[in-house]
Amino acid sequence: MTRTAIVTGAARGIGAATARRLAADGHAVGVVDLDPVACADTVAAITAEGGRALAVGADVSDADAVTAAVAAVADELGAPTVLVNNAGILRDNLLFKMTEDDWDAVLGVHLRGAFLMSRAVQAHQVKAGWGRIVNLSSTSALGNRGQANYAAAKAGMQGLTKTLAIELGRFGVTANAVAPGFIETDMTRATAARLGVGFEEFVEAMVSQIPVGRSGCPDDVAAAVSFFCSEQASFISGQVLYVAGGPTS
């Protein structure tokens, strides 16, 4: 059965890989990002493989923009019943240097964005009597130096996930979270640059701490999201899966 999915922050990195994976699984995909032009490559990759995709520009922290984006996807591709809340930004700094704007921006995109998108999409899910919500958390939810805002947002995503699972379960909707560890993306490149370290050196240092002996790639995360969105995962809800190459505490 063809379903419609929405993936936020899908212009590149984990979001783009997830959008392509869900399209390969047979979903039509609303590719949402701040700049719709930036979504062109993701949409082109999906359509080149015979899938259906729509680029939608939206600031997920803006309620009106979210409402318009979900409506656009529903009109063009069909009612969305799969939602992946992946949109995120970094504003890293040590606590004493972190500004209120740094805090608000990160919490706004990650947590407020996931809340607004979930609230909008659940109406379609409840009506259909079926749905999947997957929220992107992070190993940073366990605490990470220089990321008070990001860590708080990613821990919040786990609490939001568990609450959505409780509230929406009786409507046939599951909610789970995927928490990546070190994944090679533009975002981790930006982290290396902030630290003044070459990316290859940064990767080598991170890999030295990963039990499986390699860094992660966006497709590793997309595979986990794909499972949670599948029919086979219907009895799994409110869970957090760490995709990190080893155990987490």
Instruction: Name the residues annotated as catalytic.
Output: 150
Distance CA 13, CA 156 (A): 22
Give the residue from 134, 113, 125, 9 showing the smallest Cα distance to 63: 113
Tokens 């970094």 belong to 90
The burial class, CB within 10 Å (0-12 / 13-18 / 19+), for 5 is buried
Q: Are 170 and 122 in contact (CB under 8 A)?
A: no
Give the residue from 216, 211, 218, 243 showing the smallest Cα distance to 138: 243
Cα–Cα separations (whole angstroms), residue 249 to 94, 142, 150, 188: 23, 8, 18, 22
Tokens 């959008």 belong to 19
Cα–Cα separations (whole angstroms), residue 68 to 36, 74, 77: 13, 10, 14
Tokens 């318009």 belong to 68
Q: Are 84 and 134 in contact (CB under 8 A)?
A: yes
How many H-runs (helices) and E-runs (strands) does the chain carry? 9, 7
